[in-house]
Structure 1
Amino acid sequence: MASNIDRMDSLPSGVGICTTIPDILYVPELIFGGLVWILVACTYVEEANPLGWVMCVSVFCFVMTFIWLVVFACGSHHNSRGWATADFIYHFIAAVFYLSASVELATVTLYMSAATSEKGVRDYKLEISAVVFSFTATLLYFVHTILSAIRWKSF
């Protein structure tokens, strides 16, 4: 593990993104972000339900993280300080967006009354799961931001 931290002064490419810190976090970010997207999309949305921002954030971060993963996997970044800066900025923005979406999703879920019908209880459980996965994705993006900042400063 110490060898991974020693290599924080360079950006990985190819299979190296699956073995270096913080780039190993791309896969869990994709998994948890995709789960938030799927779970929120599965619930019944009323007109006054403000889950549009949650869907926007989860889809945006899922697509951008996938693109970011492909850029690093293909080696298109050329190991420059500019890419390290962009990596830090993207993950910072994603962490802030996910935090705001997670708080909104938790608030909506808190005020959602679990209806006595089978469908209402199912939607409530789906939203609780989405809240847990959303805060997990927030934590992953936050940790990735900190580790990207350390790598950016060591360039």
Structure 2
Amino acid sequence: MANTAQSMGRLPSGLGICTSLPDIFYIPELIFGGLVWCLVASTYVFPSNPQGWVMFVSVFCFVVTFIWLVVFTCDGHRSSSGWAAADFGYHGFAAFLYLSSSVVLAYITITLKDIFYILDPKYYKINIAAVVFSFVTTLLYFLHAIFSANRWKDF
């Protein structure tokens, strides 16, 4: 067993994901991504196409990150050696998706400020909170990708 753990390098398993540097970001990514999802869903979705993109990104990344967390927790990554590269690839891709949706959400919130105020000022405040949490989530995914790249390089 020790030989297997030694050959897998620094990929965590079980509750070890709560202590390793790149993987400690899983829980905050899920929390802040879920907040973005809930906040955008609770507002008046106008216009629907850009806001739909934000919803797609937040739901997609939430679901895939949760599956990724479960795989690492249940030792599903022990069967193959490409998990370090896949971890970096996914989190880099998720950071790019979240950056694109964060910029779109910020643009829509700033551009349609007056319309949101006519409908209800709380929609504008909720959209501002969604923009802030979306950029925080982008930062978390980016940091996870950077630390995963370092782990992949050392692997």
Give the TM-score of the pair, scaled to structure 2: 0.89
For 1:51-90, what aligned pairs fall within 5 Å after superposition?
A: 51-78=51-78, 80-90=80-90
Deviation at 1:10, TM superposition (A): 1.4
Match of 2:6 in 1: none
SS at match of 1:94: helix
Aligned mates of 2:47, 2:133 — CA distance in 1: 24
Letter in 2 for 1:56: F
For 1:138-153, what aligned pairs fall within 5 Å after superposition?
A: 138-153=138-153
C-alpha change, 1:116 and 1:109, in structure 2 (3 Å) is: closer
Deviation at 1:47, TM superposition (A): 4.8
Match of 1:125 in 2: 125
Letter in 2 for 1:121: P
Aligned mates of 1:152, 1:47 — CA distance in 2: 40
For 1:1-150, what aligned pairs fall within 5 Å after superposition?
A: 9-47=9-47, 50-78=50-78, 80-114=80-114, 115-117=116-118, 119-150=119-150
Letter in 1 for 2:75: G
Give the share of equivalent positions with the same residue, in percent.
Answer: 63
CA RMSD of aligned residues (A): 1.7
- 1:47-101 per-residue CA deviation (whole Å, 9 max, x = no partner) reads 5552010000000000000000000000110175400010000000000000000
Structure 1 gaps of 5+ residues are 1-8
Aligned mates of 1:64, 1:76 — CA distance in 2: 15
Aligned mates of 2:20, 2:48 — CA distance in 1: 44
How many residues are treated as equivalent by the alignment? 147
Contact kept? 1:25, 1:140, Cα under 8 Å: yes
Aligned mates of 2:31, 2:97 — CA distance in 1: 17
C-alpha change, 1:121 and 1:12, in structure 2 (3 Å) is: same
More helix per residue: 2
Deviation at 1:112, TM superposition (A): 1.4
User: After the TM superposition, which of the residue ranges 123-132 and 49-58 deviates more from structure 2?
Assistant: 49-58
Contact kept? 1:51, 1:105, Cα under 8 Å: yes
